Amino acid sequence: MSDNLKYVRKSLNSTILKHGKMSSADKDRLYQTVIHHKVSKKRFSIAPVLSIAAIACFTLFIGSFVYKQIENKENPQNDLALINNQEEEDDKTTSKNEEQKNNNSSNLASFLYELKVMLQENNMSSSPIEDSAKEVGDFAKDNAYRFASIQKEEAILKKLQEIGKLGESLQEVDTDEKRINIMSDLDYVANQLVVIAEAKGIIDERNNIIKNLEYENLETWLKSVKESIHAESFKPYGNREAYERNIGNGANLYAKHYAALEDDTAIKDQLKEIAEVTNKIKKEEGEEKRTELLNTLDLMIDQLLEDR
């Protein structure tokens, strides 16, 4: 073992671990080099700075390009949204104006129908007409001038003005004869205006004419009419004729009212037929013919109640 170690040591001494020889001059030079050596300063390099600046510029350029593309894409969408919003506002305004126009038209039709009802009631009444005539005149004047102020159709405007003037005259006259003549003229002009208005699409559905209904529903009204037909007393009217003609007048209004509200076509048609018969009853002066019409009405009501 000791021989092997001795051999290794001998081998090492003959290679990298062998004793070196250094002259005095070499020693002195090594000393001077170690003592006077100065650490060289690292020189500043601009390359990293330029690299960072280039990356920042590239990033800014790409970001700006992407932002512009997004902005350009959003602008048409924003413009389209503004256009759509404007169109929606215009549609709302148009719809509101159209609705207002329809309401005005409906009110005009209702006014004409109510005026005709008032004229018919006055025509059938046997009592003095002074008070009722003034009421009709006031109703005709105020409403005719009100609708005339918002009316653009020349033909309708002209007839409304005529009705307004007749309404004024009806309030001023002092005899029943004059009142009857004026109401006859008023009825004639109102009929003319109804025709003109209907040609313009202004039609009253007659479902708002009877403002205070006396009956709970259609069946209740039909049964009430039957009771009136078969009643022995004609009070509060002075005679049987006035009583029966009043049945015709009231039934005519309610038949039209319920017909306007009815969805069933068959029932609606039956109510319209009843309205035609009752219209004849309220105008019929002959007792025999009026009795015949009332019997027909009685049978029609029985049929309608059965169908309902």
Q: Which long-range contacts (CB under 8 A, 24 or more apart) does 132-135 make?
A: 133/170, 133/173, 133/176, 133/179, 133/182, 133/183, 134/170, 134/171
**Phi then psi for 144, rounded to 5 degrees?**
-65, -45
Tokens of 21: 């020889």
pLDDT at 111: 86
Question: Residue 245's CB: how many other CB atoms inside 10 A?
Answer: 20
Question: Residue 88's CB: how many other CB atoms inside 10 A?
Answer: 10
Q: Where are the alpha helices (DSSP H) in the chain?
A: 2-13, 24-36, 47-124, 130-148, 154-172, 176-199, 218-230, 240-261, 265-283, 287-307
Give the CA distances from residue 223 to residues 196, 220, 280, 306, 308, in Å, rounded to whole numbers and listed in that order.
37, 5, 20, 12, 13
Name the residue with higher pLDDT: 129 or 126: 129
pLDDT at 232: 86
pLDDT tens across 54-68, in order?
A: 777 767 767 776 666
Q: Is 215 helix (H, G, I), strand (E, B) or coil?
A: coil
pLDDT at 96: 45
pLDDT tens across 194-231, in order?
A: 889 888 888 765 545 565 678 888 999 999 999 999 99
Name the residue with higher pLDDT: 304 or 81: 304
pLDDT at 19: 55
- Ranked by mean pLDDT, the top range of 1-10, 121-130, 132-141, 193-202 is 132-141
Name the residue with higher pLDDT: 35 or 155: 155
* Angle between helix 130-148 and 47-124 (nearest 10): 150
Indicate whether 276 pLDDT > 60: yes
- CATH class, range 102-204: mainly alpha
CA torsion 145-149-154-155 (nearest 10°) is: -30
- Per cent of the chain over pLDDT 90 is 30
Contacts of 264 (CB under 8 A, 6+ apart): none
**Mean of the per-residue pLDDT values of the chain:** 77
- Ranked by mean pLDDT, the top range of 30-44, 65-79, 193-207, 250-264 is 250-264
| Domain spans, the chain | 102-204, 209-308
Question: Average of pLDDT values for 92-118?
Answer: 61
pLDDT at 99: 42
Indicate whether 271 pLDDT > 90: yes
The model's pTM is 0.40
pLDDT at 160: 95
